[in-house]
Amino acid sequence: GSGKTTLLKMILGLLHPTRGVIKVFGKHPRDVQTKSRIGYLPEESYLYRYLDARETLDFFGRLFSIPQPERSRRIEQLLEMVGLAKVRARAVGEFSKGMQRRVGLAQALINDPDLVILDEPTSGLDPIGCREMKDLILLLAKRGKTIILSSHLLADVEDLCDRIMILYGGKIQALGTLDELLTKKDTIRITMPAPSPNVFEQLIQILREYVPTDKLQIDKPRQNLESFFMEVVRKAVYSATETSGATLGQKIADYLTGQAQPTAAEALLSKLAAPETPPPLTQPAPEATQTEPKLTKLQSLTQPEQSTTQPPQQPQKPEPDLSTADEKLRSLLESSENKSKQE
């Protein structure tokens, strides 16, 4: 009730401020071009229950007029990224709340926004989903995207945010970086590998000479429960334990990292520019086994073939009887001579 969601809605142009002016990218929040550069994940995932995951992302992609080939490519990458590729054909209404949040995150990124606004992004997510959501947010920030995150889970804020603003009663109560707000300047923590017992005793004696006992705290660090849980889950994944719900998300979508896959034209040009590779050794090479000198080969190409070996003889056909044909030819000639004499 401090006004977090209200502030986000004013940034999105959904609510009007009673006083003051809000500008996003130097323009009014209601400007269409401004909205096209924003991705928004609301506190509740408002999705169409009878559309499946792929159809849902396709619908939002059409709202941003993304061409069909690029839209399909982004949808496949986003579904892999949020761990819903195996359930892409299931209706969103059948999803758990955590799975619906994953779809909501994917739709917030379908337009490759410059500003990403996330309202309670880890709400309803299991520990795996929370960790993956936070890892994804960090990757998006490293890529150069501006992310506004609203959350009442202070551990998430501490893990993710560079600058923190604390609202109470609709007013800013604290604003600054983590170091500015949380660093205890009068306390120092030293982290080192566990020393041998003798060295440890010497260190304790030295510290006790200068630090009061009631202010000296020495203990062994321990990992937090979230890190331990994720380690257990990774071991289960490696042992091929099956799950019917969402799976571990894959790498971040290429188009969100600026490492988009080449287009068909680029792939064709790369293939044409690549040097030709020699044929595999398993393919027969008719000329490769000949040891004839090059000069002899050249002569054989410029002179008629003179084979020293006789080709295999074909069975000869029986010669036809020409005696009858000779008699007929002789009689025709004689008749033609007699006719010419008479003329």
DSSP-assigned letters across all residues of 275-307: PPPPPPTTS--TTTT----HHHHHHHHHS----
- CA quadruple 188, 192, 196, 199: dihedral sign: negative
pLDDT of residue 317: 52
Length of the chain as a residue count: 343
Please check whether residue 60 is in contact with residue 110, taking contact to mean a CB–CB distance below 8 angstroms. yes
- Residue 2 burial (CB count, 10 A): 15
Please check whether residue 39 is in contact with residue 111, taking contact to mean a CB–CB distance below 8 angstroms. yes
Task: Give the pair of three-digit tokens for residue 251.
Answer: 């790498």
Task: Give the pair of three-digit tokens for residue 133.
Answer: 């959501």
Residue 118 to residue 137: CA distance in whole angstroms: 10
Task: Give the pair of three-digit tokens for residue 203.
Answer: 């260190």
Residue 164 three-state SS: strand
pLDDT of residue 161: 93
DSSP H helices in the chain: 4-11, 32-35, 53-63, 68-81, 97-109, 127-142, 154-160, 178-182, 197-210, 225-238, 254-257, 264-273, 294-302, 323-342
Domains of the chain (ranges; CATH) run 4-257 (3.40.50.300)
Q: Give me the phi and psi of 238, to 5 degrees please.
A: -65, -25
pLDDT of residue 97: 86
Residue 108 to residue 118: CA distance in whole angstroms: 9
Low-confidence ranges of the chain (pLDDT < 50): 288-302, 304-309
Side chain identity, residue 202: Q
CA angle centred on 45, ends 42 and 49, rounded to 5°? 155
pLDDT of residue 128: 82
Nearest to 43 by CA among 64, 19, 12, 22: 12
pLDDT of residue 178: 86
